[in-house]
Structure 1
Amino acid sequence: MRSRLLLVPAVCAAGLLALTGCVANDSSEAGGHAALTVDSGADACTVSANTVPAGNTRFTVTNSGDQVTEFYLLGDDGLRIAGEVENIGPGLSRDLVVSLPAGNYFTACKPGMVGSGVGKAAFTVTKADGAAAVSTDFGAQIDTANANYASYVKDQIGQLVTGTDAFVAAYLAGDDDTARSLYPTTRAHWERVETVAESFGDLDPKLDLREADLEEGQDWTGWHAIEKDLWPTDAEPGFVAYSPEKRQQLADQLVADTATLHTKVQDLSFTLAQQTNGAIGLLDEVARGKVTGEEEIWSHTDLWDFQANVDGAKVLYAGVRDILIEKDPKLVTTLDREFTDLQTLLDAQRVGDGFTLYTALSPAEIKALSDQVNALGEPLNKLTAALVL
């Protein structure tokens, strides 16, 4: 709930993303790089090939739909953005040029530039002799990491907008079962970028304030105010369900504040220190509220939030990992291990597409999660100094 990132607006975030006009390409290697075409339609995202050798790759994205679109190259977690090109109008083409190491990725398009996108598909970059070398210029790597994280934040808040719309529609219709099912999955988009969202002054308490943190005379709005109404049996004795008028008021405010947040994140840029401190801050959020069960006091969906905070921290770490390998390879080994160990503990609590409710965890399971958060927190706290100083 406390601001950690001081953000500055930017006219654009360039990095290694080369955005040009219409260029005719085929899917063969040419001029020392792989050249692919992408057709972004209303409900499909068709890439001319799903495998390229490591090195420079150019995607020429053509919008065959009727909405402004964008194209994403995602990391192997399906969350981290390795490259993106946006604001492609109907009938237009733009290029995305990225320098890629070998690994697994995903491609996707986003007609309308909000929501989860369409046509998500696996994409592989292979090791190959004679492939163009991936840039080892630290300045270029940092610029790319900063630009890609800004794109990731916009993507997550864009998905928060559409998710909130669906959640609110169910809540106002009195379909509480659907609203309860959408509550933790929609909030995950907030939790993945929570330290950024918290930086916008009063938007954070409007959207995410817990009842226990209310000050005298303060209006209570946002997710947790609605959470209490959706899980009334876990509220205090005598709690009275909200009237339709109050539901409407809270729903309208949630949608409006989320839209404001979406507007504010469009012109963000980041420094390397802001990224690394953001990763540290997200793990602090886990330690302070999620692992203690204090965040979702009525729904008990704390592990959904826990996973989302860890997702966000891993995205930030993955974005700077190649730089850290050159600076402090031992720290990379430690962080890789501790992130893996924490994810193993979380995976053990998965139930279907979700998680065990916090109230179903044993004291031993809570302690194990808490101990592993601390085990990861110690080396993660060294990340900023290792990269910036």
Structure 2
Amino acid sequence: MSSVRMSAVAAAGMVVAVTAVTGCAEKSEGKGSSGAITVTATDSKCEVSKTSFPAGHVQLAVQNKGSKVTEVYVYTPSDKIVTERENIGPGTRATVTAEIKAGTYEIACKPGMKGDGIRQKITATGKGAAKKTDPRLDAAVASYRKYAQEQADLTIPAVQKFADAVKKGDVEAAKAQFATSRIGWERTEPVAESFGDIDPKTDTREDGLEDGQKWTGWHRLEKALWKDKKIGSAEKTLADQLVTDLKDWQKRVGKADITPTSMANGAKELMDEVATGKVTGEEDRYSHTDLSDFKANVEGAQQAYELLKPVAAENDAALTKELDKQFTAIGTLLVQYRKSGSSSGVEFVSYDTVGKADRKKLSDAVNSLAEPLSRLAAAVVAK
């Protein structure tokens, strides 16, 4: 979901610490250690105390001292996302464990969660990435790569049905296919976002457009179907473009840079997507099919977790016990909002019929799952 999660007001300040991971994650998140690289960000600066650190597993301990939600990214020179953490609330801390290979990168501080961010160049030195890995983690990565490809492959025929309905001018048929066409994408969205250029073309909401950006993709068509209630020549062209862009994603999934820590962080990112877009009703604001996306995000996060669980359980049994509990709880809760006997192609009730009290239950369940998920990456690489 390439869009503004909240109003684009710059955060007043934020501190990031990067440390080599030599053991379990710190119990108190965000405090860093004596070897930390501190990055101090304000509305106009992103100052780095050290511009190099050893390659391998590193830890980003983030503290948001600003007044608005913010986020932090590590980018390759070609703007591929190495790791990220979104939805860092004012006055809160977050810790991100990532595998960073030797090379040059940029840390981007994004006050207001919009734009390219305020960037500083950094360098990962040495041969940390060549370190011997647990064969179970190698297998987990291979299985997750297969899963991501399967989801992309399943998306194409589903989105083609949606596009065909749009091109026929059949509003109701297109509506029925909309939610289904998004499931594979939502399950593996962090992989798609890692490429940098696909997500903005396919999944941007109107309030997430950058200056000069043409609005294309699912949500542009969603607005036409539910708000404008008509399909014109422009929408038919956009339907074909959506298929083309998603076929590009399908071809590139196999080349994605996937690591155990990116899988774990991706699971957390999926829950951030739920918290900032689905629970609020902002994601599918015209169709109100947010719960379908919600379920797909949870399924994708659980798939990554289950593949990493054998190693994580060995390193932190209490964490995996809690994650098992929270995944079960959120799955049970979602069942309550399923439509019975529906033939419309929509699995869940319209989100605009979900009241404030129920939305709070969903939000609480997301938060209860997201917190332990934020510690999964550290458990995966713990000695």
Query: Same fold by TM (over 0.5)?
Result: yes
Partner SS for 2:281: coil
- CA gap of 1:387–1:240, structure 2 versus 1, over 3 A, is closer
Find the aligned partners of 2:207 and 2:252 in 1 and give their Cα distance: 28
Partner SS for 2:360: helix
The corresponding residue for 1:218 is: 213
- CA gap of 1:347–1:138, structure 2 versus 1, over 3 A, is farther
Please, what TM-score do these two structures have when normalized by structure 2? 0.63
User: Could you list the runs of 5+ residues in structure 1 that have no partner in the other structure?
Assistant: 8-136, 233-238
- CA gap of 1:257–1:162, structure 2 versus 1, over 3 A, is same
Pick from 315, 335, 339 the counterpart of residue 323 of structure 2: 335
Partner SS for 1:334: helix
- Residues 277, 384 of structure 1: 8 Å contact kept: yes
- CA gap of 1:4–1:262, structure 2 versus 1, over 3 A, is farther
Partner SS for 1:216: coil
Shift of 1:296: 0.3
Find the aligned partners of 1:152 and 1:240 in 2 and give their Cα distance: 36
Q: Which amino acid aligns with 1:190?
A: W
Partner SS for 1:355: coil
The corresponding residue for 1:323 is: 311
Please show how residues 18-57 of structure 1 align to structure 2 within 5 Å: none
- Residues 138, 323 of structure 1: 8 Å contact kept: no
Partner SS for 1:384: helix
Pick from 167, 172, 190 the counterpart of residue 167 of structure 2: 172
Comparing 201-210 and 138-147, the one that deviates more: 138-147
Pick from 366, 370, 377 the counterpart of residue 363 of structure 2: 370
Pick from 241, 252, 268 the counterpart of residue 264 of structure 1: 252
Find the aligned partners of 1:6 and 1:159 in 2 and give their Cα distance: 29
User: Taking CA–CA contacts closer than 8 Å with sequence separation of 6 or more, which of the two structures ends up with the larger relative contact order?
Assistant: 2
Please show how residues 7-18 of structure 1 align to structure 2 within 5 Å: none
Q: Which amino acid aligns with 2:355?
A: S
Shift of 1:299: 0.1
Find the aligned partners of 2:363 and 2:313 in 1 and give their Cα distance: 27
Shift of 1:4: 6.8
The corresponding residue for 1:295 is: 283
Shift of 1:181: 1.1
Rg comparison, structure with higher value: 1
The one-character-per-residue Cα deviations of 1:181-218 (angstroms, maximum 9, x if unpaired) are 11101101110001111111221110000011123332
Please show how residues 347-366 of structure 1 align to structure 2 within 5 Å: 347-352=335-340, 354-366=347-359
The corresponding residue for 2:189 is: 194
Q: Which amino acid aligns with 2:168?
A: A
Shift of 1:247: 2.0
Does residue 205 (structure 1) correspond to residue 193 (structure 2)? The answer is no
Shift of 1:290: 0.5
Find the aligned partners of 1:242 and 1:346 in 2 and give their Cα distance: 32
- CA gap of 1:153–1:4, structure 2 versus 1, over 3 A, is farther
User: Could you list the runs of 5+ residues in structure 2 that have no partner in the other structure?
Assistant: 3-71, 77-131
Q: Which amino acid aligns with 1:337?
A: K
Does residue 149 (structure 1) correspond to residue 144 (structure 2)? The answer is yes
Find the aligned partners of 2:212 and 2:349 in 1 and give their Cα distance: 35
Shift of 1:177: 1.6
- Residues 194, 256 of structure 2: 8 Å contact kept: no
The corresponding residue for 1:48 is: none
The percentage of aligned residue pairs carrying the same residue is: 43
- Residues 195, 278 of structure 1: 8 Å contact kept: yes
Find the aligned partners of 1:240 and 1:170 in 2 and give their Cα distance: 14
Shift of 1:252: 1.7
- Residues 186, 293 of structure 2: 8 Å contact kept: yes
The corresponding residue for 1:139 is: 134
- CA gap of 1:149–1:365, structure 2 versus 1, over 3 A, is same
- CA gap of 1:208–1:5, structure 2 versus 1, over 3 A, is farther
- Residues 5, 274 of structure 1: 8 Å contact kept: no
Find the aligned partners of 2:263 and 2:74 in 1 and give their Cα distance: 8
The one-character-per-residue Cα deviations of 1:125-170 (angstroms, maximum 9, x if unpaired) are xxxxxxxxxxxx9722111100000000000011111111111111
Find the aligned partners of 1:6 and 1:333 in 2 and give their Cα distance: 33
The corresponding residue for 1:388 is: 381
The one-character-per-residue Cα deviations of 1:233-281 (angstroms, maximum 9, x if unpaired) are xxxxxx58442x2122101211110111111112335211111111111
Please, what TM-score do these two structures have when normalized by structure 1? 0.62
The corresponding residue for 2:153 is: 158
- Residues 166, 231 of structure 2: 8 Å contact kept: no
